Amino acid sequence: MRVLFITSNKGKFKEAKRYLSPLGVELIRGRVDYPEIQADDLEEVVRFGLEWLRDKIDTPFFIDDSGLFVEAFGGFPGVYSAYVFKRLGNKGLLKLMEGVDYRDAYFKSVIGYYDGEIHIFRGIVKGSIGYEKRGEGGFGFDPIFIPHGFSRTFAQMTIEEKNKISHRGRALKAFSNWLKENLQNE
Amino acid sequence: MRVLFITSNKGKFKEAKRYLSPLGVELIRGRVDYPEIQADDLEEVVRFGLEWLRDKIDTPFFIDDSGLFVEAFGGFPGVYSAYVFKRLGNKGLLKLMEGVDYRDAYFKSVIGYYDGEIHIFRGIVKGSIGYEKRGEGGFGFDPIFIPHGFSRTFAQMTIEEKNKISHRGRALKAFSNWLKENLQNE
């Protein structure tokens, strides 16, 4: 079975392959620019993307979106995490958090799969925002995010460690579990 | 001539009426939810909105979008100003600006008009970010924005004063000037 992953990110594609190849899925990377809307949650963004893409692609395909949601700021930067990271960086977010004791935050990842119908899969990892940047791994807000149950940031973990507990890893897990069951029933 | 202004904002509608009614335009308020995309500039957002709406509306119509662009942050919050205001408020933006000497910023407004073709009109007002909130008028980031040539913030001005120099007023002026010429040529 052939499945397209519409993404410009090679790292994401590689990670997805690790989950889907063992199921006998032939994963192909597709590059199509699609609009991402402004919305309060990732599900809406992904749903709109699928609806926009579905008439243009005749193979089952999926897209994804992720964000960091800081509880003290009502979820900011959330859906706009990539933009906010580019403009303000970890430095900006740490500055906003100065004097803020309530540091709970979570990373969330949403995968939207289309096979004639829309299927949504989610992965969440809860944690907190640190007081300084730590670690050289990962990307984006990883150096200031400490997942619950750990004392290290995402950026201080190996890729394997991080993928095992990450939002994206969990969403991929949910997706591949569903796909596995679905393929068996065919 | 009938023109639809697609907006949920009664204040905006009233202001637009003041510019367009004198031209003999019968301005109607339309309420249609349309997607606003994530983009680096307002023009893209407005253009996408027009393209999404144009097959659904058979009268000439326009939409608008505005934002505050802070130079020190590469334009943040820009296209996402309404969201960032809701989540961080003036307090958050002032906190980000602590220790930042370069305080230049501008408000920008873009109007997109569709009459079988797309026409884009812009209004910009340059100024700077103050060091504290001042004034009770206006809304959003008005209490921390001081337009060039003034010592008061937008929130310290009367509506009439603000409208005369505001980004939205200027975009409406550009639009109504164009419309005036265009109607005369018909």
Q: Which of A36, A38, A50, A100 to mutate to test binding with chain B, by most B CBs within 10 Å of its CB?
A: A38
A20: Cβ contacts below 8 Å, ≥ 6 apart: A3, A27, A172, A176, A179
Closest chain A residue to the Cα of B73, Cα to Cα: A87
B35 in reach of chain A (CB within 8 A): yes
Q: Average the pLDDT over B60-70 and give the result.
A: 97
Q: Could you report the per-residue pLDDT of B124-170, keeping only the tens digit for each?
A: 999 999 999 999 988 899 999 999 999 999 999 998 899 999 999 99
The answer to whether B87 contacts A73, with C-beta atoms less than 8 Å apart, is yes
Band of residue A186 on the pLDDT scale cut at 50, 70, 90:
low
The answer to whether B36 contacts A36, with C-beta atoms less than 8 Å apart, is no
Nearest neighbour of B35 by CB, restricted to A37, A92, A95: A37
CATH number at residue A41: 3.90.950.10
A92 in reach of chain B (CB within 8 A): yes
Closest-CA residue to B77 (of B62, B64, B88, B91): B88
A120 in reach of chain B (CB within 8 A): no
Nearest neighbour of A88 by CB, restricted to B38, B73, B98: B73
* Chain A residues with CB-CB distance to B65 below 8 A: none
Domain that holds residue A117: 2-185
The answer to whether A96 contacts B98, with C-beta atoms less than 8 Å apart, is no
Tell me, what's the pLDDT at B186?
A: 56
Q: Could you report the per-residue pLDDT of B24-50, keeping only the tens digit for each?
A: 999 999 999 999 999 999 999 999 999
Q: Could you report the per-residue pLDDT of A124-156, keeping only the tens digit for each?
A: 999 999 999 999 988 899 999 999 999 999 999
d(CA B99, CA B17): 42
Q: Average the pLDDT over A42-51 and give the result.
A: 98
| Residue of B40, B64, B65, B104 marked active site | B65
Tell me, what's the pLDDT at A93?
A: 98
CB-count exposure of residue A60 (10 Å: 0-12, 13-18, 19+)? middle
Nearest neighbour of B92 by CB, restricted to A37, A87, A96: A96
Tell me, what's the pLDDT at A183?
A: 78
The answer to whether A83 contacts B80, with C-beta atoms less than 8 Å apart, is yes
Closest chain A residue to the Cα of B71, Cα to Cα: A87
Band of residue B182 on the pLDDT scale cut at 50, 70, 90:
confident
| Chain mean pLDDT for chain A | 95
Rounded to 10°, the helix A10-20/A167-185 angle is: 40
* Chain B residues with CB-CB distance to A84 below 8 A: 76
The model's pTM is 0.93
| Chain mean pLDDT for chain B | 95
First to last CA, chain A: 11
A65 is catalytic: yes
Closest chain A residue to the Cα of B74, Cα to Cα: A87
Q: Average the pLDDT over B93-121 and give the result.
A: 97
d(CA A94, CA A117): 41
Q: Could you report the per-residue pLDDT of A72-104, keeping only the tens digit for each?
A: 999 999 999 999 999 999 999 999 999 999 999
Tokens standing for residue A167: 């939002």
B76 in reach of chain A (CB within 8 A): yes
The answer to whether B35 contacts A36, with C-beta atoms less than 8 Å apart, is no
In chain A, how many domains are there? 1
Q: What is the DSSP letter of A17?
A: H
Tell me, what's the pLDDT at B117?
A: 96
Are A45 and A39 in contact, with CB atoms under 8 Å apart?
A: yes
